[in-house]
Structure 1
Amino acid sequence: MTGQVATEIETLLQQALSPTRLKVINDSARHHGHAGDDGTGESHFTVVIETPVFEGKNRLARQRMVLAALGDIPGQRVHAFAMKCLTPGESAAGERA
């Protein structure tokens, strides 16, 4: 079951960046009882996003594009947010399913 925040993350990234691949991974259960766990079950996320929009952009520029698309979600509505920003054909080494 996908929660409200995860669904919102997915929708915003689809609209802004037209990814060819997108995984929104809820890591919250791994952090239960730790700092930032607000009890909602949607406090920690990892996103793996692949889009041609990232072509020619460095890692920081890609991450800024993702953060701009998500507005106040990372850092305000979500405690922890990790991302892997790729172009088609790049590999996400160590990616979780």
Structure 2
Amino acid sequence: MTIAETMHDKLQNAFAPTALEIVDESHLHAGHMGARPEGETHFRVTIVSAAFAGASRVQRHRLVHEVLAAELRERVHALALVLRTPEEAR
């Protein structure tokens, strides 16, 4: 299973999102710190979930970082996050 697939499964289970998009942007960071030739180090993640209701931007980021702690510790160097409630996504 790829890192992106693992992240997808974890985020799907944790947040039951109405929308979830994970884009591997590693190729845009080739040669930069944290980049690996095989990729899967830099991701852009968009999640729309009711689980974010009432949470600040920082709290939302912390929730996602908790779910992806192992990936962030072992492999993922950068994670760009767009986290919205269904109402905010309209």
TM-score by length of 1: 0.84
- Aligned match of 2:36 in 13, 35, 38? 38
Separation (CA, whole Å) in 1 of partners of 2:38 and 2:62: 26
- Aligned-pair identity (%): 37
The TM-score, its normalising length taken from structure 2, stands at 0.90
Counting matched residue pairs gives: 90
Aligned partner (choices 69, 72, 78) of residue 80 of structure 1: 78
Structure 1, residues 24-48: CA drift from partner, whole Å, max 9, x if none? 0101011112221111211100100
Question: Which of 62, 65, 76 in structure 1 is aligned with 2:63?
Answer: 65
CA distance in structure 1 between the partners assigned to 2:73 and 2:25 by the alignment = 15
Structure 1 letter corresponding to 2:28: R
Aligned equivalents of 2:43, 2:34: Cα separation in 1: 12
Q: 2 CA distance for matches of 1:69 and 1:75?
A: 12
1:51 aligned to 19, 26, 49, which one? 49
Which runs of 5 or more residues in structure 1 are unaligned? Answer: 92-97
Match of 1:89 among 59, 84, 87: 87
Amino acid at match of 1:54: F
Alignment of 1:1-20 (within 5 A): 4-20=2-18
Letter in 2 for 1:41: G
Which structure is higher in helix share?
A: 2
SS at match of 1:90: helix
Per the TM alignment, residue 76 of structure 1 is displaced from its structure 2 partner at its CA by: 3.3
* 4+ residue segments displaced more than 4 Å: none
